[in-house]
Amino acid sequence: MAVEGGMKFVKYVLFFFNFISLLCGLALIVVGIVVQVSVHKSFQILDASASAGPILLIVVGLLTFFIAFFGCCGAWKENHCMVATFSFFLSLVVIAEIAAVVLGYVYRDKVKTMIEKNLSEMITNYKSGSQELKETVDKLQTTLKCCGDQNSTDWKNYGDDGKTVPDSCCIEVKLGCGNGTMTNSTIVYQQGCRDVMVKMLKKYAQWLIIAAIIVAVLQLLGIVFACLLMRGIRGGYEVM
């Protein structure tokens, strides 16, 4: 009876774990899609590396969702084959996540380079670019409270006088507020968008690392409970 009770406990814990993982998979898919859309709205200059992170999130989310669904069915039906398959694929996901973290650390400077390249090109093409590009730059500067790439002087070629910036650089955005006010810190933001974005990404990266560690620990626990359930199922078959 004690063994049977233990088996039921392991089964329900594994089922609950997989249900949570299923929800996490859906969350990753949604976050990946939102980030992908945001990246392409923020950076009009096409860069394949800009989509690498969001696409990876979507792929991991899909894998997590289907593996968790498979694990739920296997745990509920106490099917040895399904639980074994779940444990195998979950182990692959953990290995892939570790590899992704290592690659993310190795190529961390590439993100900064991508930001620098895209911001510089967006500012250079602002006057001759599309309306969509202008709206993107304006929204970026207004939202992040910044001006230019490194600082407000990056807009020196924007106006004929060399002292004019887009109105979106202004602390209080008004029509014509950027005319001749490039270095006026009481009217125009002096900090460049590059530093603001890098700081923001570093902050988000810290939370992502913490979340990744928590998810990895939960997944390892899932593998342990899956192995315990397989052992219990196998033992049950042998008794029968």
Residues 6+ apart with CB under 8 A from 193: 119, 140, 141, 144, 146, 147, 148, 149
Higher pLDDT, 91 or 110: 91
Higher pLDDT, 152 or 229: 152
The Cβ of residue 21 has, within 10 Å, a number of other Cβ atoms equal to: 23
157-181 tens-digit pLDDT = 888 888 999 999 999 999 999 999 9
Residue 104: both structure tokens together: 């993310």
The class that CATH gives domain 108-221 is: mainly alpha
Q: Is 78 exposed, middle or buried (0-12, 13-18, 19+ CB in 10 A)?
A: middle
Residue 45 has a pLDDT of: 46
The Cβ of residue 166 has, within 10 Å, a number of other Cβ atoms equal to: 23
pLDDT band at 117 (very low <50, low <70, confident <90, very high): confident
Q: How many CA atoms lie within 13 A of 166 on its CB side?
A: 22
Residue 32 has a pLDDT of: 72
Reply yes or no on whether the pLDDT at 192 is more than 80: yes
Residue 6 has a pLDDT of: 58
**Interval 203-230 mean pLDDT:** 77
pLDDT band at 236 (very low <50, low <70, confident <90, very high): low
